[in-house]
Amino acid sequence: MPRRPICQGSPRASTNTNLRCVSRVDIPASELFAAPGGEGRTLAGFLDASGRAEAIWFAFTEFPWLKVWTVAPTRPLTSRRVTSPYNYPFSDNIPTVVADLAGRMVADAAWYLAPVLGTAQLTAATLGLTATLSADIWGPSKNTLLYVRPTTLRVTVNGYAVFTSRAEAQRVVSEFTTFYRERLADHAARGRYPVNGQVEIRVTGLDDPSDVESSGARAPLLSALRPRADHPEWDTAVWLDVLTLPGTPDAEAFYRELEHFLLTTFDGEYALTRVEWSKGWAYTDQAAWSDPEVLGSAVPASFDDGEGAGWDRAAAVLNRFDPHRVFDNALLKQLFP
């Protein structure tokens, strides 16, 4: 967020940790994202076992690329040691078949090729993990966590953090992916292909000021991971992103459908939706950051938590440090009129 010029800061970092990252593409989405209560290989099961997991689900495919990180002080016997980040070259450098398909879709408006592109991306990941010996890697955390480079395929992406308890994380994932799959299939049946990239799902903890080991530390007022005082049981954030090529027809309208579902389904009963500032949100059928109800009501309300009007407190701080609104823009004028 602008309007917060920072002139000086002292960064703090925890001790680097060795992590093992195991990738797999053999679990169908219907099992990985199943409703809670079953005995299959669910995302929640991997979270319970390791604490760290990410799913990348290419559009119109059935098998997500699942990554599971586990703290491992010493290298497991089957893991490959990595001494630098960016260990998925098939993701960093677009394979020719994927580049050709994406180019044809954009240049020739061949958006109906979205299912073919999804399959091509999954195939590239499946073969690439084996060819580059990257399905089981181990090393310092940054070497197993960082994988996006400037050469990665450029896409448009929406983004939300759904607050909930760890026990309800699978429910959030299941309800979202079920809705997403149904809506994507409905659009495709009508000859529309608003998504040609992937769904990305990550699960994290929340901001904990004690982690910085500094007296008086507090969670940032406008952090998407700021805990809610009125729901101490909400200790988990489920991050949901949907990616598609820039200029894809009907993408904004589809994003609006997803956003409406998130805001009305995860509305504070057992989970709550916040926007991810750096991504797209507040969709109309034409553009992001444009829906007046989301900008003026839903977003501010998501930061009020029983300790007072958190959004108003944040606005007061911004006004104190920037009383003349020098560091302002059109979006901020709508959020903080």
**pLDDT tens, 292-328?**
999 999 999 999 876 667 899 999 999 998 899 988 9
Q: 């630098």: which residue's tokens? A: 84
Contacts of 238 (CB under 8 A, 6+ apart): 161, 162, 164, 169, 172, 173, 176, 201, 202, 203, 271
Q: Is the pLDDT assigned to residue 278 strictly greater than 90? A: yes
Residue 262 has pLDDT above 80, yes or no: yes
Residue in the structure block whose two tokens are 């709550």: 272
Residue 11: band (very low, low, confident or very high) from pLDDT cuts 50, 70, 90: confident
What is the spatial distance between Cα 304 and Cα 310, in angstroms, rounded to a whole number? Answer: 5
Q: Is 308 exposed, middle or buried, given 0-12, 13-18 or 19+ CB atoms closer than 10 A?
A: exposed
pLDDT of residue 177: 99
Taking 90 as the threshold, does the pLDDT of residue 132 lie above it? Answer: yes
d(CA 62, CA 76): 30
pLDDT at 133 over 90: yes
pLDDT averaged over the chain?
94
pLDDT tens digits, one per residue of 61-95: 999 999 999 999 999 999 999 999 999 999 888 89
Contacts of 125 (CB under 8 A, 6+ apart): 25, 56, 58, 65, 88, 90, 91
Q: What's residue 308's pLDDT?
A: 66
Residue 99's φ and ψ, nearest 5 degrees, are: -60, -40
* % residues pLDDT > 70 (the chain): 98
Residues whose CB falls within 8 Å of the CB of residue 224, separated by 6 or more in sequence, listed in order: 161, 237, 274, 275, 276, 277
First-residue to last-residue Cα distance in the chain: 15
User: What pLDDT band is residue 121 in, cutting at 50, 70 and 90?
Assistant: very high
Check pLDDT > 80 for residue 6: no
The ranges assigned to domains in the chain are 18-151, 154-209+224-337
Banded pLDDT at 12 (limits 50, 70, 90): confident
- Extended beta strands in 195-235, E state: 198-204
Q: How far apart, in Å, are the Cα atoms of 151 and each of 2, 23, 147?
A: 27, 21, 11
Entry pTM: 0.95
Domains 18-151 and 154-209+224-337 share a fold: yes
Percent of the chain with pLDDT over 90: 81
Q: pLDDT higher for 14 or 293? A: 293
Q: How confident is the model at residue 152 (pLDDT cuts 50, 70, 90)?
A: confident
Query: Taking the domain 18-151, which CATH number applies?
Result: 3.40.462.10
CB 252, CB 285: distance < 8 Å: yes
Q: Is 2's pLDDT higher than 70? A: no
Structure-model confidence comparison of residues 4 and 219, the more confident one: 219
Q: Is the pLDDT of residue 175 over 90?
A: yes
Mean pLDDT of 240-265: 98
Residue 233, both tokens: 């049981």
Please give the backbone phi and psi of residue 222, each rounded to the nearest 5 degrees, phi first. Answer: -105, 15
CATH number of 154-209+224-337: 3.40.462.10
Answer yes or no: is pLDDT of 213 > 90. Answer: no
> What's the pLDDT score for residue 274?
98
